[in-house]
């Protein structure tokens, strides 16, 4: 096919198959239904398809893989048919879709504008209805920015949930295979068909996904400083998004964005960029002159760092992760604009580095800090361009994010992609339990917290962590004397007695295991009800009043973990 430089839709494809590729099937029982039967998909051309060249948008790189990438193999086995391979910013270095010798991929709503990248072609072909879903990759936002700019869903899984075997690395420790679809439900179907540990991928993990949805009254974090780079339409669209989440039962909580921005900056402004060079080092050292700018400059910059520089940058990233971890005690989900503005392709050509960086203002930190993320359409602006939001949660929160994201997407009233076709009815998210189904939510404040001496009693019973939060500011925490291991006593106080918010965790304990768990709890502790910071109540440990006489009040530490650390 012809790939035009002027932003023709043809530029979305690098290889479009005359005959879609399907998995050969033998021995299946009559009537057996495969989960993705009837769905067509495309893959970004840094993902291997057996017998088809993988170019990573660099013709000279061209490799002919003998086997499929793990995710491609699993999708074919699940019944989907592969339509072809899509264009990308070369070596997945970019967030705009203009950095490819195969042409600039246009925005599906207005060809004057960028599609977003680096998974530009994958997003376009989904938005335009040429396939039902597509795979991209995401290291710094490449599976989210194009989704937000094209009115589709972009699911960035928890790192290691989908195998990257057979994927040309960008920065391997942060890379994720991402999913584009026109509905959240389709994206989740694809996620579950692909997920699973793969020993061929050094970063693959056997992750236990959170099975509980977010609470009905959830708290969503909003950065304390947001820049839309002068784009008033985007700012208004984000304000509308926060109002919609409020109407859905959310309460906004302002969070400090500075440490997240600092983490994001490390990806390109520290020795971590050396990982991008390492990903294609052998090819780049021999053929660097054929790599287009500014990709060549990005890869070239990675050569100058030493191993000591890399270790220093990694330690700084870990320090930032420790600093921001308490954020999740105050919020259930983080809300950001997927992309803070739109740029024309002409603007991007004139200032390719700064404008590209602006598109990733709220995406770069996610993979580095090991979070899950879901971009969902939010609105069409007055100028007709799409605006998307991204919901971010801790590692393993993929299904809970999908549940909230699907509810949000359907609340917008938007059509699918650029098709003008209404959204289908929402579907239950597979694998996500109905709130509280088969479990009892129990709040723990002391030795049963994650990493504390008695947490194993929860793990042994198959309990799962629902969320980290705090009590309402109506409690005092006391260190009980003579307990082994040391345990606290939680006491609710009357208004005016100087209560405090005490850090806690809420665990879902299978109902069949509640009795054996409570049998391990010695007096003076017992099971009662505890009010949480959002005003909801759950079962939790409280202490008999007589045992608190003479016990040290440690409420000033804000929680048992902080008190133990101070000893």
As annotated, the active-site residues are 44, 118, 142
CA atoms within 13 A on the CB side of 442: 25
- Crossing angle of helices 70-77 and 184-194, rounded to 10°: 110
Contact 542, 491 (CB under 8 A): yes
Contact 388, 377 (CB under 8 A): yes
Upstream peptide bond of 213 is cis (omega within 30 degrees of 0): no
Give the distance, in angstroms, between the CA of residue 209 and the centroid of all CA atoms in the same chain.
12
Angle at 45 between CA 43 and CA 50, to 5 degrees: 80
CA distances in angstroms from 229 to 108, 144, 382, listed in the order given = 22, 19, 17
Length of the chain: 567
Contact 411, 244 (CB under 8 A): yes
| Three-class SS state of 301 | helix
End-to-end CA distance of the chain: 69
Give the distance, in angstroms, between the CA of residue 41 and the centroid of all CA atoms in the same chain.
21
152: left (phi over 0), alpha (psi -120 to 50) or beta: beta
CA distances in angstroms from 42 to 48, 82, 87, listed in the order given = 12, 6, 10
Phi, psi (degrees; rounded to nearest 5) at 247:
-65, -25
Could you write out the three-class secondary structure of 454-495? CHHHHHCCCCEEEEEEEECCCEEEEECCCCCCCCEEEEECCC
The rounded radius of gyration (Å) of the Cα atoms in the chain is 25
- Crossing angle of helices 232-247 and 398-412, rounded to 10°: 110
| Residue closest to 210 by CA, chosen among 23, 535, 389, 465 | 465
């Amino acid at each position: 096919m012809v790939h035009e430089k002027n932003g023709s839709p043809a530029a979305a494809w690098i290889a479009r198959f005359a005959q879609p590729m399907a998995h050969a099937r033998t021995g299946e029982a009559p009537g057996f239904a495969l989960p993705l039967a009837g769905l067509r998909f495309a893959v970004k051309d840094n993902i291997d398809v057996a017998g088809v060249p993988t170019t990573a948008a660099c013709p000279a790189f061209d490799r002919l893989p003998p086997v499929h990438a793990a995710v491609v193999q699993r999708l074919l086995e699940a019944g989907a048919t592969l339509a072809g391979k899509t264009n990308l910013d070369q070596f997945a270095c970019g967030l705009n879709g203009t950095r490819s010798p195969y042409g600039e991929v246009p925005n599906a709503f207005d060809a004057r504008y960028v599609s977003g990248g680096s998974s530009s072609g994958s997003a376009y072909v989904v938005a335009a209805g040429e396939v039902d879903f597509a795979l991209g990759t995401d290291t710094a936002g490449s599976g989210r920015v194009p989704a937000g700019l094209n009115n589709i869903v972009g699911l960035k899984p928890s790192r290691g949930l989908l195998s990257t075997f057979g994927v040309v690395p960008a920065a391997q420790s942060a890379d994720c295979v991402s999913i584009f679809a026109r509905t959240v439900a389709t994206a989740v179907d694809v996620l579950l068909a692909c997920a699973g540990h793969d020993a061929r991928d050094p970063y693959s993990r056997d992750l236990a996904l959170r099975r509980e949805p977010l609470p009905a009254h959830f708290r969503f974090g909003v950065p304390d400083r947001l820049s839309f780079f002068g784009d008033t339409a985007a700012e208004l669209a984000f304000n509308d998004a926060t109002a919609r989440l409020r109407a859905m039962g959310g309460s906004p909580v302002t969070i400090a964005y500075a440490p997240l921005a600092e983490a994001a900056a490390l990806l390109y402004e520290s020795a971590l960029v050396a990982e991008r060079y390492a990903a294609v080092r052998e090819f780049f050292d021999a053929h660097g002159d054929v790599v287009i700018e500014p990709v060549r400059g990005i890869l070239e910059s990675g050569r100058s760092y030493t191993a000591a520089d890399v270790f220093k940058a990694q330690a700084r990233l870990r320090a930032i992760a420790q600093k921001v971890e308490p954020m999740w005690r105050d919020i259930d989900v983080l809300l950001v604009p997927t992309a803070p503005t739109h740029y024309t392709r002409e603007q991007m050509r004139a200032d390719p580095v700064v404008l590209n960086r602006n598109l990733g203002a709220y995406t770069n930190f996610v993979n580095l800090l090991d979070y899950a993320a879901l971009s969902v359409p939010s609105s069409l602006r007055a100028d007709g361009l799409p605006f998307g939001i991204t919901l971010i949660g801790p590692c393993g929160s993929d299904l809970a994010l999908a549940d909230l994201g699907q509810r949000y997407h359907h609340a917008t009233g938007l059509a699918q992609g650029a098709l003008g076709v209404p959204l289908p009815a929402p579907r239950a998210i597979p694998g996500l339990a109905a709130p509280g189904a088969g479990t009892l939510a129990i709040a723990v404040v002391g030795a049963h917290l994650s990493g504390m001496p008695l947490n194993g009693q929860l793990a042994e019973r198959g309990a799962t962590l629902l969320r980290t939060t705090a009590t309402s500011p109506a409690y005092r925490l006391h260190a009980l004397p003579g307990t082994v291991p040391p345990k606290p006593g939680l006491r609710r106080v009357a208004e005016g007695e100087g209560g405090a918010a005490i850090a806690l965790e809420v665990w879902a304990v299978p109902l069949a295991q509640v009795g054996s768990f409570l049998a391990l709890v010695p007096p003076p502790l017992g099971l009662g009800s505890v009010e949480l910071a959002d005003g909801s109540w759950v079962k939790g440990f409280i202490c008999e009043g007589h045992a608190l006489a003479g016990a040290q009040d440690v409420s000033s530490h804000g929680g048992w973990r902080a008190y133990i650390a101070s000893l």
